[in-house]
Amino acid sequence: MPSAGTGAIWSFASPKRRDLLLGIGVTAMIAGGGVGTDALLAAPTVSAPPATFVAMSRFVTGSDLVDDAAITRAWAQLVALDAGFPAAVAQLAGAVDKAGLKTMTEFLASPLGKDAALLNTARTLTSAWYLGYTGTFASHASKDDTGFVTFAGALMWRPTIDATVIPTYSRGATDYWIDPPAGTPVPKGAASVRDWRGSGAAANSSKDA
């Protein structure tokens, strides 16, 4: 949850907050990460993210989000997905400020946590920062509405960061992820299918199914 210093997020009109909001960052490609090429290269032109967006992002995640480029990408993409998003964020910020809430635990325990519209906005923000992308990934479509926010900075890595190696590149040979562990029996597929894995048999894989 937020650190002691995050109480300052309620000074939404503070010029110091605006100083944190910098220009558009360079988007990046994530191979196999479920984020489409078109979405990664898209750079929607919208106004700079308001202080309320930064404050609410930090509030719902309980994290000090300091990557200005990622903040700008997230804002631009969420607005592109929903023209009513700015008003929704403002409504959430106003409600939280009026109730004097400091953490999401307090939010969920309060009457605000039962407000479907406020809860949906909070979930949208949380999803963008936890997963590192906006929109909905469509695994069986040539295009989807996902947009890159951050990869290594995605909050999903944090709970196990002391033991997790963030896979920013292939850690094995070509197609290494499709082969079962050594000694694992390989299921026999249909007679018309030559190889169920989609590539040549791995040298260290058992064929004794």
For the residues of 93-105, what is the DSSP string, one character each? HHHHHHHT--SHH
128 & 36 share domain = yes
Please report, as a single letter, which amino acid is at residue 67: D
154 with 174, same domain: the answer is no
Domain that holds residue 50: 4-159
Same domain, 131 and 89: yes
Q: Is 110 found in the same domain as 81? A: yes
- Positions of E strands within the chain: 133-134, 147-148
Average per-residue pLDDT in the chain? 74
Q: Report the range of poorest mean pLDDT among 1-5, 48-52, 83-87, 167-171.
A: 1-5
Enter the tokens of residue 97: 């400020």
Residues 33 and 130 placed together within one structural domain of the fold: yes
Q: What predicted TM-score, i.e. pTM, was given to this entire model? A: 0.60
141 burial (CB, 10 Å; 0-12 / 13-18 / 19+) is exposed
Domain count, the chain: 2
Between 44 and 130, where is the model more confident?
130
Within this chain, do residues 50 and 131 fall inside the same structural domain, yes or no? Answer: yes
> Do 142 and 193 sit in the same domain of this protein?
no
Same domain as 200, residue 107: no
123 against 40, higher pLDDT:
123
Any domain includes 164 = no
Q: Which residues, 6 or more positions from 127, have their beta carbon under 8 angstroms from its beta carbon?
A: 134
179 and 149, same structural domain? Answer: no
> 152-188 pLDDT, tens per residue?
899 998 888 888 888 776 666 666 656 666 776 666 6
Domain end, chosen from 122, 137, 159, is at 159
Q: What is the pLDDT of residues 85-101, one digit of tens each?
A: 999 999 999 999 999 99
Amino acid, res. 97: D
Question: Percent of the chain scored above 90 by pLDDT?
Answer: 45
pLDDT, tens digit, 9 for 90 and up, residues 15-30? 333 333 333 233 333 3
B/e letters for 155-175, b = 16+ CB within 10 Å, e = fewer, are beeeeeeeeeeeeeeeeeeee
| Whether residue 184 sits in one domain with residue 117 | no
